[in-house]
Amino acid sequence: MPRYRLEPTAEQESVLLRHCSDARYVWNLCVEQESWWRRDRGPMPRFAERCRQLTEAREEFPWLAEGSVIVQQQAVKDHGQAMTRFFDGTARRPRWRRKGQDKGFRIVHVKPGDVRRLNRNWAQIRVPKAGWVRFRWSRPVPADVKSYRVTLDRAGRWHVAFAVIPQPVPGPGTGEVVGIDRGVKVSVALSTGEMLVVPGHSAPETARLPRLQRKLARARRGSKRRSRVKTQAARLKAREADRRRDWTEKTSTDLARRFDVIRVEDLNIKNMTRSARGTAEAPGRNVAQKAGLNREIGRSGWGALVRRLEDKAPGRVQKVPPAYTSQRCSACGHVDARSRESQARFACTACGYACNADVNAARNIAAGHAVKARGADRDAGAVNREPQLALLPA
């Protein structure tokens, strides 16, 4: 979904904020309606029935009728799609939306004349009740656009995203396979020996963020100073997120173009980043260390990279069980925890082969090895046994 930076005027921004408020209000109405549902009351009303109820509400409340009916109806549809994902088990149950969070709305039935280019760097899009709003022409807009979504992030930036499914990235056709090992110190290690790191904050930015957080803690709630400092911290975090997103897009495109088969570890990131706080009866240990590890995993973009690879190279991404990939020697197949001498060094205790530990794991992933607890390969026999004298040649 290509996204562009939107640059509304002050008057247009007030209209866009009103659209965001209407979408949030209708969404919360749907959430409240779902909360009253019981099994003995029959099925919940569908999209058509809710649109009829919305029409009655607009006739009764003039302030609601002043808003865009498209924005309000699409908020109903967004909630219905969210409930569908919840029942499918792919997302959590839709919750209340608070003011200042999840600001955005969707517009459908976009015509070819609703988007026009002004010059080399700027274009315009028609938004209901706001007129023509300028946005940056950072890339060509797809010709078959039927809908778009306008969002406002916490850093105060407006964006417009056009709902178009991009074409897959074609592979080279050479049959080349690559393994990807994801880590914290090294974000991505390839079986080719390449090691990539997600760009984050610079040294001055890293030192500035704690200062802003301390200023935010001292500011009085509801004050202009608190709002100003909060925006500054949000812009700093948004800069890091933008760099991570840009790195993810470029890296996934490069891998999809260079390799026909891409193998990654089948990691359950949600469980890996679960808090170690525990409960009052059974408090956790090393809670602060585990929280720091969770933050670094989130900054490394493990899940985003695999999702973008599956989008750009459908059918070419294979997931390998992660068991013992970091303890297995990619040269002889010997499995020993002592071979992992440190975070960065791997030295096999059987054959003496040594290389970077992350690259060694990536080569095991590229080979598709899934080692069991006793060291046996999924397709072959055990390879980490001691030599047997009876089997040695005389």
> Which among 290, 320, 350 is the end of a domain?
320
Q: Does 366 fall in a domain?
A: yes
Q: What is the 3-state secondary structure (H, E, C) of the chain?
A: CCEEEEECCHHHHHHHHHHHHHHHHHHHHHHHHHHCCCHHHCCCCCHHHHHHHHHHHHHHCHHHHCCCHHHHHHHHHHHHHHHHHHHHCCCCCCCCCCCCCCEEEEEECCCHHHEEECCCCEEEEEECCCEEEEEECCCCCCCCCCEEEEEECCCCCEEEEECCCCCCCCCCCCCCEEEEEECCCCCEEECCCCEECCCCCCHHHHHHHHHHHHHHHHCCCCCHHHHHHHHHHHHHHHHHHHHHHHHHHHHHHHHHHHCCEEEEECCCHHHHCCCCCECCCCECCCHHHHHHHHHHHHHHCHHHHHHHHHHHCCCCEEEECCCCCCCECCCCCCECHHHECCCCEEECCCCCCEEEHHHHHHHHHHHCCCCCCCCECCCCCECCCCCCHHHCCC
Q: Does 170 fall in a domain?
A: no
Q: Does 171 fall in a domain?
A: no
Residues 256 and 280 in one domain: yes
Residues 93 and 226 in one domain: no
Q: Does 330 fall in a domain?
A: no
pLDDT of residue 214: 95
Residues 196 and 300 in one domain: yes
Residue 119 near residue 136 (C-beta atoms within 8 A): no
| CA separation for the pair 188, 358 (Å, rounded) | 8
Q: Does 312 fall in a domain?
A: yes
Q: Does 289 fall in a domain?
A: yes
> Which among 295, 320, 345 is the end of a domain?
320
pLDDT of residue 18: 95
Residues 87 and 230 in one domain: no
Residues 199 and 146 in one domain: no
pLDDT of residue 369: 62
Q: Does 265 fall in a domain?
A: yes
Full pLDDT tens readout for the chain, 394 residues: 789 999 999 999 999 999 999 999 999 999 999 888 877 777 888 899 999 999 999 999 999 999 999 999 999 999 999 999 999 988 899 999 988 787 999 999 999 899 999 999 999 999 999 999 999 999 999 888 899 999 999 888 999 999 888 889 999 999 899 999 998 989 999 999 999 999 989 999 999 999 999 999 999 998 999 999 999 999 999 999 999 999 999 999 999 999 999 999 998 888 888 888 877 777 888 888 888 888 888 888 889 999 999 999 999 999 999 888 889 998 888 999 999 988 889 999 998 899 999 999 999 999 886 444 344 444 444 444 443 333 334 4
Structural domain count, the chain: 3
Residues 17 and 153 in one domain: yes
Residues 153 and 201 in one domain: no
> Which among 320, 352, 373 is the end of a domain?
320
CA-wise closest residue to 305 among 257, 356, 253, 261:
253
Range(s) of the domain holding residue 346: 337-391
pLDDT of residue 391: 38
Residues 59 and 203 in one domain: no
Q: Hey, which residues are catalytic here? A: 181, 265, 358
Residues 342 and 284 in one domain: no
pTM above 0.85, yes or no: no
Residues 258 and 312 in one domain: yes
Residues 355 and 381 in one domain: yes
pLDDT of residue 243: 94
Residues 281 and 199 in one domain: yes
Q: Does 127 fall in a domain?
A: yes
